[in-house]
Structure 1
Amino acid sequence: MHTVTPRTDQYEPEPVNMRSEEFASRPLEVVERIRAAGGSAPVVFLDGQPARAFVDDADVRTILGDRRFVVDPDHVPGGPTGVRRSDAMAHLGLRPDLITYLTESLLDKDGSDHARLRKLVSRTFTVRRVNAMRPAVERITADLLSALPGHADDDGVVDLIEHFAYPLPITVICDLVGVPVAERAQWQAWSHQLARFDPARPEEMNRVLGAMIEHVEAMIDERRDHPREDLLDALVRARDEGGGRLSQSELVTLVFTLVIAGHETTAHLLGNGTRVLLEHPDQLALLRSDPALLPDAVHEMLRVGGTAVTAKARYAAEEVRLTRGTVAAGERAVAIVAGANHDPAVHADPYRFDVTRHRGRPGEAHVAFGHGAHYCLGAALARQEGEVAVGALFAAYPELSLVPGRPPVRDTVPGTLRLRELPVRLGGAGS
């Protein structure tokens, strides 16, 4: 850990607009300006409300892991401060009957409520269960890779996002949850629509959310007559037999949160990670020469190309002194995950991609999966999918390359690092 003297200057710069085109398209430039200005700055957060952002690893971990920070403003002693998320959604034009489903997720809970919901699904993501899923992940990966040549255009170019990075994790998580095969393409479409929510078109969000909720409720009803051994069955039993451990709205929210969160992050890990490997042929050659480096390489891919630029805002339940400033009780603090993952005090030469960087380091040096009570439930599964997918991709297509004149296309969703398209040329298939 490093010690930094808190800012003492009286000058307060103009807030950084985290909804701006600049932050969406060049977030790391904004991160480094905040670091150079003292490590924290006032911001207009993604929901349009004011907050203070922090970029250093120590402060990010405190905001994410210290119980003095809460995600629900109702848990700030003395009453809620600022604008409730539900009120902000209503102001944007979302239907009141849908808002409950957006505020009942694991991501929006603190304390015992969060622990209750997390416990209901955590057994599904144990290391033992994830390891048992590996053969299925390998089979899905092999099927997708063998189909890639059939998706090539007249120039022999394939979009790796559409035909590999997205289909792999959506298939895995839908298998786990119990979403029927015929309905998975629809879930992927819904996920894209939610990620690109336009506040000027609330009717589109209302339509998508309404359709998702109706679909999940139909799946739940169907299980009464046709039970299966999957996560959805377990959650339905928890609702029906658990003595109030899970409400209907919480059940519905858990299902679509798991499906969306369970594939979006992994899809963009695969897209961003493959791109950075192809842009660093020396590191790709090192990985090919030593496949045992795959777990370390995936950690490095997560550090430099993890999907989340910023975490959900937290509220200080009491005054908290961080290394880069003090957060007053009731004030919102934003942990910039990408800032922590490029903190030079923790990661030497942080903008250098190095697949050996994590070798021998205990735990996770990065915070791509978060930190503390809200650490990503599916982290072990995402890492496994990354290892299987990257290893198999370059084994199947050792001449895989980026396409001159057709660069990857960024998907400029504020607060994320994601690709909309990753055109690649497959070259000859491996043995």
Structure 2
Amino acid sequence: MTNPETPPAELPELDLTDPAVLRAPFAAYGRVREIAPVARLVTPGFGGLLALTRYADARAMLTDPRFGLAAHSYLRPEVPEHCRPYLRTMGEMDGPEHTRLRRLVSPAFSARRAAEFRPRIERIVDRLLDGLPAHTEDGAVDLLRHFATPLPMEVICELVGVPESDRPRWREYGAAVAAGHGERFAEAIPGIIDGARATVASRTVVPDADLVSRLIRVRAEDGDRLTETELVTLVWHLVLAGQTPTNLLANAVETLLREPDQLAVLRADPDLMPGAVEELTRWCGPQLLTVPRFPDEDVEIAGVRISKGEPVTAALAAVNRDPRAFTDPERLDLTRPPGPPGHLGYGHGPHFCLGAPLARVQVEVALAALLRRFPDLAAAASPERMPDPGTWRLASLRLTLG
């Protein structure tokens, strides 16, 4: 006997502007998860969307071809006309179009490629850590500003092959993107696109050992290859999606300093680092919600009828701590055994984050080097968080280096 469909009006609601939700999203989403498998997220004045709160339902939705993505966020009136052809990324594509691009570029983002790139990430991390003491003010340094924020863009510049002379501008772009979709972000778009176009044009004439040169050479068995527009768009996508390590690394450090027993476990056995990063991503990953999907027909999930075209998201803050999927999920356990079920911090299915292997390596290298370099690292002030309903992120992370 099947359960009757739940009318949407009876679903529990979360107000995304509620200070209690913004301050403690994992607790708020956890309470809703235990009430119902689907909740309505509302933002006064902006409408709402449905959120799946339980792991199995969320995982299934992310692989269900009836749920599609929409091109949405970046075509703003202030974006120059010449930038517009490059703004629609793979993250906004479905079906054969997405499959084709993913097939062409995936080998360049494999776990093996990320491991090969590790020594270059280690050099970047060491250079940033060398400079940390110089940024000390009143005995403390803001790790978010001077380490976690610049790291991903330094890695992207190295990966893509941005000339050294252009990197100061790219660092500014990275800070703007990491800061969120505000005025600085919009102002950075033309510079990112123009820089990507220049890099692709240069590598087309004079190839090197970087990612862009490698992708220019990619040719499928049927002769298919990436166009100039697709290459530039991929660089734009890298800049957008590649900022994840900023907030994950900052969240991880802040969490470990609040969990001294777990920090001691990790310091005692650095070989735990890969699994620790996975557990920290489950526990304090920055993305609270996945990009909304839109069903192309009426769909029923967990007894709830979802109408065609209604936006649906997976509430990662809920599903990654679902007791139906994880043992003792409300406990941070850096020795948690690997394997299924895996967290959904990088999504699942066809749109699983292309850069996940690179992000993992960055955070592993950065966290290991930071803890090794500064054994007496400590919080200098209570961390301040940004009131962001979609991203669990800090405004600053002031630490004493010891």
TM-score of the aligned structures, taking structure 1 as reference length: 0.82
Match of 1:257 among 215, 221, 237: 237
SS in 1 for 2:237: helix
Q: Is the 8 A contact 1:98 1:206 kept in 2?
A: no
Distance 1:291 1:231 in 2: 30
Paired position in structure 1 for 2:281: 302
Q: Name the CA distance, whole Å, in 2 between partners of 1:93 and 1:43.
A: 29
Instruction: Identify the residue that residue 383 of structure 2 maps to in structure 1.
Output: 408
Residues 125 and 381, structure 1, Cα contact 8 Å, conserved in 2: yes
Residue 259 of structure 1: how far off its partner (Å): 2.6
SS of corresponding position for 1:51: strand
Alpha-carbon offset, residue 284 of structure 1: 0.7
Residue by residue over 1:275-301, the C-alpha shift from the partner in whole angstroms, topping out at 9 and shown as x without a partner, is 101110011111122222212211111
| 1:336 pairs with 2:315 | yes
Report the residue type matching 2:335 in the other structure. Answer: T
Corresponding residue SS for 1:370: coil
Q: Are residues 45 and 261 of structure 1, via their aligned partners in 2, closer, same or farther at CA, if it must alter by over 3 Å?
A: farther
Relative distance call for 1:286 and 1:51 in structure 2 (3 A) is same
The aligned runs of 1:7-156 (5 Å cut-off) are 8=6, 11-12=9-10, 16-18=14-16, 23-44=21-42, 48=46, 50-72=48-70, 85=72, 89=75, 98-102=83-87, 104-153=88-137, 155-156=138-139
Q: Following TM superposition, by how much is the alpha carbon of 1:187 offset from its aligned partner in structure 2, in angstroms?
A: 2.7
Query: Structure 1 374/19 Cα, relative in aligned 2: closer, same or farther at 3 Å?
Result: farther
Contact 2:108 2:215 in 1 (8 A): no
Matches within 5 A, 1:319-334: 319-323=298-302, 325-334=304-313
The answer on whether the counterparts of 2:283 and 2:320 sit within 8 Å (CA) in structure 1 is: yes
Match of 2:293 in 1: 314
* Segment of structure 1 superposing worse, 362-371 or 276-285: 362-371
Deviation, structure 1 residue 355:
0.9
Change (3 A) 1:398 1:207: closer
Q: Which ranges of structure 2 fall in alignment gaps of 5 or more residues?
A: none
Separation in 1, partners of 2:117, 2:8: 55
Comparing 384-393 with 219-228, greater Cα deviation is found at: 219-228
Deviation at 1:414, TM superposition (A): 3.1
State how far apart, in whole Å, the 2-side matches of 1:143 and 1:211 are.
Answer: 25
Identity of aligned residues (%): 38
1:178 matched residue in structure 2: 161
Contact kept? 1:341, 1:366, Cα under 8 Å: yes
Gap change, CA 1:309 and 1:243, over 3 Å in 2: same
Q: 2:141 maps to what in 1?
A: 158
1:390 equivalent in alignment to 2:364: no
1:292 partnered with 2:292: no
8 A Cα contact 2:203 2:213, kept in partner? yes
In structure 2, what residue type is equivalent to 1:184? R
Query: Which stretch has the larger CA shift, 376-385 or 315-324?
Result: 315-324
Cα deviation for residue 310 of structure 1 reads: 0.6
Residues 105/415 of structure 1: CA separation in 2 closer, same or farther (3 Å cut) = same
Deviation at 1:250? 2.9
Amino acid paired to 2:386: D
Partner of 1:420: helix, strand, or coil?
A: strand
AA at the equivalent of 2:395? R
Does the C-alpha gap of structure 1 residues 308 and 145 become closer, same or farther in structure 2, counting only changes over 3 Å? Answer: same
What is aligned with 2:209?
A: 229
Shift of 1:335: 1.0
Aligned length: 399
Aligned mates of 1:182, 1:412 — CA distance in 2: 36
2:352 corresponding residue in structure 1: 375
The 3 A distance-change label for structure 1 pair 387 and 57 is same
Do 1:169 and 1:267's aligned partners in 2 also have CA atoms closer than 8 Å? yes
The Cα offsets for residues 18-40 of structure 1, whole Å up to 9 and x where unpaired, read as 46666544433441343244131
Render the CA deviation track for 1:82-141: whole Å, top value 9, x for unaligned: xx637x955x76666655433x20100112111122223211122222221122222222
Which segment drifts farther, 276-285 or 125-134?
125-134
| Structure 1 counterpart of 2:392 | 417
- Cα 1:345/1:47, change in 2 over 3 Å: farther
How far, CA to CA, are the matches of 2:259 and 2:343 in structure 1?
20
Match of 2:334 among 341, 355, 359: 355
181-190 vs 40-49, which moves further: 40-49
> What is the Cα-based RMSD across aligned positions, in Å?
3.1
Shift in alpha-carbon separation, 1:143–1:205, aligned structure 2, 3 A:
closer
Write the distance in 2 (CA, Å) between the matches of 1:248 and 1:237.
12
Instruction: Write the letter of the residue equivalent to 1:178.
Output: G
Alpha-carbon distance in structure 2 between the residues aligned to 1:304 and 1:212: 32
Give 1:423 deviation, angstroms: 0.7
Report the CA distance shift for 1:10/1:284 in structure 2 as closer, same or farther (over 3 A).
closer
Aligned 8 A contact 2:298 2:308 in 1: yes
8 Å contact kept, 2:149–2:175: no
Deviates more, 1:8-17 or 1:251-260: 8-17
Tell me if the contact between 2:68 and 2:293 (Cα under 8 Å) persists in the aligned partners: yes
Write the letter of the residue equivalent to 1:228.
Answer: D
Contact 1:178–1:232 (CA under 8 A) maintained in structure 2: yes
Q: Secondary structure at the match of 1:219?
A: helix
What per-residue deviation string (whole Å, max 9, x for no partner) do you get for residues 133-161 of structure 1? 122222222222222222212x3211111
Going from structure 1 to structure 2, the CA distance change for 1:10 and 1:369 (only over 3 Å counts) comes to closer
Residue 54 of structure 1 contacts residue 324 of structure 1 at CA under 8 Å; is this kept in 2? Answer: no
* Equivalent runs, 1:201-240 vs 2, <5 Å: 206-237=186-217
